[in-house]
Structure 1
Amino acid sequence: MSHPQPVTLHRIATNGIEANVAVAGTGPAVVLLHGFPYTWRLWSRVIGPLSASHRVIAPDLRGFGGSTRAADGYDAGTLAADVDGILDALGEPSAAVVGIDAGTPVAFLLTLRRPDRVRRLVVMESLLGTLPGAEEFLAPGPPWWFGFHAVPGLAETVLAGHETEYLDWFLAAGTRGRGVPPDVREAFLAAYTGRDALRCAFSYYRALPESARQIDEATARARLTVPTLAIGAHPVGRSLERQLRPVTDDLTGHLIPDCGHIIPLDRPRELLEILTPFLAAPVEQPASD
């Protein structure tokens, strides 16, 4: 029986930036893509178990954590190219890709653009642009912070000096009040303190219209053909699964009960129970003539 492997951090040049990338284990590659307000440490409770049978690759996305605080490039397409370059640098021709929150559109676009490279896709707790299926979730209006974060220069000016209070609200709401482990909380707070760190985080929201356009264009040209798993919790539920259903050939949906938005920290055991067999299943090869 293989055991969890130690995590090592790597500085990897990709697509005009340097990415901070956590790597652990050997075997088939699996890429883990975080969202806001997290870093690669979002995956702290699942990297160990996954590394017993996979090479786990968990980058800080552009502008987040230890990666370059770039001036631009926060649209999902550019972020997908960043990940593509990380796989090149690590010598991985293919990988399973897992995304949550802001990492979901990145994982989705990478898979649509590079179906030769992505063996399996897992997406969680996010929406994919304006694809149909999320009408019920959006009926009361989008989450309040989307508009606040989208105004250029506003949120980072207002929040500088109050990052702890602001992030703690998201960490409590995303775990239904249970909170995240203290060491992970401290890592998140360190990563999101200061106006420039906040600017990078909010640049993702400012790029959402461009990301939505990229998603519309990609789904107009191609379907998701790789095995895909959509995992929901509170508050997104099955909205992402409903968006994916019309554009995906092989889709499985799961809903984790009594689980907040921050699935990998709130319910890591339940996530692993779903994720591990999905990642381990062989991909069927087309029959040869």
Structure 2
Amino acid sequence: MTVIEHFTYQRVPVDGDVSLNVAVGGSGPPIVLLHGFPQTHLIWRHVARDLAADHQVIVPDLRGYGASDKPADLDGQTYSKRRMAQDVVNLARALGHERFALAGHDRGGLVAFRAGLDHPHAITHLAPVDMLPTLDMWEVMNGVSAAIGFHLYLMAQPPGLPERMIAAAPDAFFGHFLDAWTGRPEAIPADVRAEYLRASREAVTSIVADYRASAGIDREHDRADRVSGRRLGMPVTVLQRDWGDALPYDAVALWGAWAPDLEHRTITGGHFVAEEDPALVVRALRELSARP
């Protein structure tokens, strides 16, 4: 298995029988890095090694992904972002940190966003990377342009059909996103790509459950917070690709409604920015961590 060099690996119990696979390296103020779809903690391999010079860097596989546990979704809430955010807080606490900075890409960004809302006293700084909060995401997708997110609609279907369809050709399905969303294909070398595909093949059911939760319970949680006026109280830096006509929305306005202390940066290149331009991400995270 491909690993982050010079990081130590362990399994950490976070919720009953659920344990996360986590890589830990460096020393200093803690920062947790959460990956997205269809990937594992390895998306952060360059960023993590750089940040380890002055941070303790904690890089888990989310529940349902990579080498972390994949519990059955019996109630539609096992993969809610609220539950996954609690995993992250419990993980940091198990490693000795009551407060920590948090960055999340794609699906990991949804978990990070929920952690920031649910655990404001634990999250010191927040960095969502190339994603929108669940409620906003569903609201901006419409018409033909929504075809870019066809997988969201597929995996929102009731249990059974999406799992069977994806499991019939998993490498073609997951590989499509690695190809279509990458600005620099060489940023994901063959061994890492193979690891992403292998891990995804073994996690079809839990990945679908994660996405299904976003069409259900996650959207409900976001709507309740919007109605109540709940906001992110910590400094927030958003790194976001301009998706152009495919996803036409005012990202600054959407994020500003959730984050009063916001710095929004539009980035160029592909979706997998932590692999395609790790220096940009490292610089942004260091600048964020310096904000009071």
State the TM-score, normalizing by the size of structure 2.
0.87
Are positions 1:272 and 2:282 aligned together? yes
Q: Does 1:168 align with 2:175?
A: yes
Q: Match for 2:156: what amino acid?
A: A
2:142 & 2:104 partners in 1: Cα distance?
Answer: 21
Cα distance in 2 between the residues matched to 1:141 and 1:24: 39
Amino acid across the alignment from 1:182: A
CA contact (8 A) 2:181 2:270 kept: yes
**1:10 & 1:274 partners in 2: Cα distance?**
28
Contact 1:19 1:68 (8 Å CA) reproduced: yes
Give yes or no for contact 1:12–1:89 (8 Å, CA) kept in 2.
yes
Task: Please state how far the C-alpha of 1:58 moved relative to its aligned partner.
Answer: 1.0
1:159 aligns to 2:166 (yes or no): yes
Q: Is 1:78 matched with 2:88? A: no
| Aligned with residue 235 of structure 2, among 204, 209, 227 | 227
Counterpart Cα distance in 1 of 2:69 and 2:237: 30
Matches within 5 A, 1:54-93: 54-72=55-73, 73-93=78-98
> Match for residue 14 of structure 2?
14
Q: Give 1:169 shift.
A: 1.2
| Residues 240/58 of structure 1: CA separation in 2 closer, same or farther (3 Å cut) | farther
The secondary structure found in structure 2 opposite 1:255 is strand
Shift of 1:127: 1.9
Structure 1 pair 241–101 and aligned structure 2 pair: CA distance change class (3 A): farther
Deviating above 3 A after TM superposition, structure 1's stretches of 4 or more consecutive aligned residues are: 131-135, 236-241
- Give, in whole Å, the separation in 2 of the partners of 1:217 and 1:14: 26
1:138–1:30: structure 2 CA closer, same or farther, 3 Å change rule? farther
Identity of aligned residues (%): 30
| Distance across 2 between alignment mates of 1:262 and 1:217 | 30
SS of 2:185's equivalent in the other structure is coil
Q: Which one of the candidate residues 106, 111, 118 is aligned to 1:113? A: 118
The residue that corresponds to 2:45 in the other structure is 44
Distance 1:230 1:133, change over 3 A: farther
Paired position in structure 2 for 1:287 = none
What CA deviation, in whole Å up to 9, does each residue of 1:134-161 have, x standing for no partner? 63x5453361111112222223312325
1:239, distance to aligned residue in structure 2 (A): 4.9
Contact persistence 2:233–2:260 (CA under 8 A): yes
Task: Give the SS at the match of 2:201.
Answer: coil
Between 224-233 and 151-160, the greater mean CA deviation after superposition: 151-160
Q: Unpaired runs of 5+ in structure 2? A: none
- Residue of structure 2 equivalent to 1:188: 196
The 5-angstrom pairing of residues 196-235 of structure 1 reads 197-208=203-214, 209-219=216-226, 220-235=228-243
Gaps of 5+ in 1: 284-289
8 Å CA contact 1:30–1:55 kept in 2: the answer is: yes
Distance of 1:231 and 1:134 partners within structure 2: 20
Query: 1:238, CA displacement in angstroms?
Result: 6.9
- Aligned-partner residue type, residue 266 of structure 1: E
* Residue type at the aligned position of 2:90: G
Post-superposition offset of 1:227? 0.4
Q: Distance in 1 between matches of 2:137 and 2:154?
A: 24
CA distance in 2, matches of 1:47, 1:266: 14
8 Å Cα contact 1:264/1:271 also seen in 2 = yes
Give 1:234 deviation, angstroms: 4.6
- How far apart are 1:78 and its partner, in Å? 0.5
**Counterpart for residue 155 of structure 2:** 149
Matched pairs, number: 275
What RMSD over aligned residues (CA atoms) do the two structures have, in Å? 2.2
Partner of 1:122: 127
SS at match of 1:260: coil
1:60, 1:242 → 2: CA distance?
Answer: 31
> What is the rounded CA distance, in whole Å, between the counterparts of 2:200 and 2:37 in structure 1?
10
Deviation at residue 162 of structure 1 after TM alignment = 2.3
- Counterpart of 1:203 in structure 2: which amino acid? A
Structure 1 residue 46, shift from structure 2 partner? 0.8
For residue 8 of structure 1, what is the amino acid of its counterpart?
A: T
